[in-house]
Amino acid sequence: MTENKEVRTRFAPSPTGFLHIGGARTALFNWLFTRHNCGKFILRIEDTDQMRSTDESTQAILDAMTWLGLNWDEGPFFQAKRVDIHRAMVEKLVAEGKAYYCTCTPDELEEKRKRALAENRKPKYDGTCRDRGLLRSPNSVVRFRCPDTGVTVVDDLVKGKISFNNEELDDLIIERGDDYPTYNFAVVVDDALMGITHVIRGDDHVNNTPRQILLYNALGYEIPVFGHVPMILGSDKTRLSKRHGATSVMAYKDMGYLPEALVNYLVRLGWAYGDQEIFSTDELINLFSLEAVGKSAAVFNPDKLLWLNQHYIKEYDHAKLVDNIRPFLIDRGIDASDAVFLSNVVNDLKSRSKTLVEMADGAGFYFEDELDYDKDGAEKFLKPEFAGHLKNVVEKLPDLTNYTKQGIEEFLKTMAEESNTKLKFIAQPLRIALTGKTVSPGIDEVMVTLGKEKVMKRIERAMQYIGSH
């Protein structure tokens, strides 16, 4: 690659499903490398598999990228719209004798494969059609004439130098019988014509790279720099899959994770900067380098992600957190239109919530007109011996002028002293009366957020409950 050339990277997913965790990390590494080097990040949708590609999957990928904040500078380009370009390049190679038509049938190829294995030979194509000078015919494919001597070297930014003997490689198919290009060919043409300088992708593509380098050479294209990042494993050290939990990026959004938390977690799956765990986006852009990406596979740890998410919820911009929680409340049928009230609710809950789902579940009691009391809590604390404490609160509360967290705390302490009882015998019945739960944010916080009027109504209803049970 020419020195001082603008860095251009790409993320090129196939729209055959959702954007999964592994793909998202690959996109993130590309994005960070590009932003660090002030380059251009290109999004290309590789949809030449027309049988499996869907518009819904394309939109799901775009939505996930947008949610993660991985903005692209060019695209999205659609590979299927570039098929004429790919076909022209195939014809060019055929005309130059660097590719040829092949009419071997799938059954014949399977027979060759079995014979090679039986004879302890590598099951690669045996070149039957290589020198037959065939022309295009129905169902014929086009194969690349791979050099059968020499070595192809990949100078990988992550894995270092890797060498491949050309005689081990295959005369790979570059155009299928349906006239569509294969992945290895289309990706080379598109990367070259889009000026991609760095190809950063998962190490499951390592074995494709020497074949692609030979195609670059045959087409007269400049070869990009390659970097292959290790895969992500589940806790059992096998490749991350659905059996380990959610693998779709948007599933984590639905489970109440913040995008910044997921980004921070994904970048630490295989990349490190000392012992630092928490990074802002600006820090990641400034610090990221492929040299710091590890060579071994990373293990996905859901508990670590949950810890990070809890941290981000606590530290998140408050207004953004309010905006993020609102859809979860609306899904639960809660009217979250009172922005000031909702802001106070979020303030009460954010230090106690690991996910937005947990926060939304915990917020329900603030918005309910009539609470369902926790059965065990009600049996323990909504009893006649505590009714006097609740009556005391409801009678004295109207005269409390310092209706703040501190004022309420002092108010309840004074009441406990005057009643010659422990504070918990006032606070716990009050908690059940106001929240329906035995566990909640601080009772003083809850009272401030609910306001005097709602607090008094809820206490009176709890006293009625005691009287009727």
DSSP 343-411: HHHHHHHTTT-SSHHHHHHHHHHHH-SSPPPPHHHHHHHSSHHHHHHHHHHHHHGGG----SHHHHHHH
Task: Give catalytic residue positions.
Answer: 242
Q: How far apart are the first and last CA of the chain?
A: 81
CA-based R_g, the chain, Å: 32
- pTM for the predicted model, two decimal places: 0.92
Angstrom distance (rounded) from CA 50 to CA 46 = 10
284 contacts: CB under 8 Å, gap ≥ 6: 32, 263, 264, 267
Nearest CA to 350 out of 318, 308, 374 is that of 318
Share of the chain above pLDDT 70, in %: 99
pLDDT beyond 60 at 2: no
Q: Which residue has the higher pLDDT, 50 or 428?
A: 428
Tell me how far apart the alpha carbons of residues 449 and 405 are, in angstroms, rounded to a whole number.
10
Q: Find out whether 299 and 237 touch, Cβ atoms under 8 Å.
A: yes
Q: Is 281 exposed, middle or buried (0-12, 13-18, 19+ CB in 10 A)?
A: middle
Quote the CA–CA distance of 424 and 52 in Å, as a whole number.
62
What is the distance between the alpha carbons of residues 341 and 347, in angstroms, rounded to a whole number? 10
Taking phi first (over 0 means left), then psi (-120 to 50 degrees means alpha), and beta for anything else, what does residue 69 get?
left
Residue labelled with tokens 């059968």: 148
Mean pLDDT of 207-235: 96
Sort strands 225-229 and 198-202 into parallel, antiparallel or unpaired.
parallel
- The whole-number pLDDT of residue 415 equals 95
Q: Which of 327, 361, 311, 352 is nearest to 253 (CA)?
A: 327
Q: Which of 73-77, 104-108, 195-199, 238-242 has the lowest average pLDDT?
A: 238-242
Residue 1 has pLDDT above 50, yes or no: no
Cα(311)–Cα(264) distance, integer angstroms: 11
Res. 244 pLDDT band, cuts 50 70 90? confident
* DSSP-assigned beta bridge partners for residue 233: 239, 299
pLDDT digit string, tens, across residues 5-56: 899 999 999 999 999 999 999 999 999 999 999 999 999 999 988 788 899 9
Angle at the Cα of 265 from the Cα atoms of 263 and 269, rounded to 5 degrees: 115
Name the band, by pLDDT with cuts 50, 70 and 90, for residue 235: confident
The per-residue pLDDT for 3 is 56
Confidence label for 127 from pLDDT (cuts 50, 70 and 90): very high
- Rounded to whole angstroms, how far apart are CA atoms 126 and 116? 9
Judge contact between 182 and 154, C-beta under 8 A: no
Tell me the average pLDDT across 97-116.
95
Contact 141, 177 (CB under 8 A): yes
Residue 319 amino acid letter: A
What confidence score (pLDDT) does residue 308 get?
97
Q: Could you tell me if 231 and 204 are in contact, meaning their C-beta atoms sit under 8 angstroms apart?
A: yes
Identify the helix (H) or strand (E) that includes residue 165: strand 160-165
Angle at 123 between CA 14 and CA 48, to 5 degrees: 20
The rounded distance, in Å, linking the Cα atoms of 32 and 17 is 24
Three-state secondary-structure class, residue 42: strand
H/E stretch holding 225 reads strand 225-229
Q: Which pLDDT belongs to residue 242?
A: 77
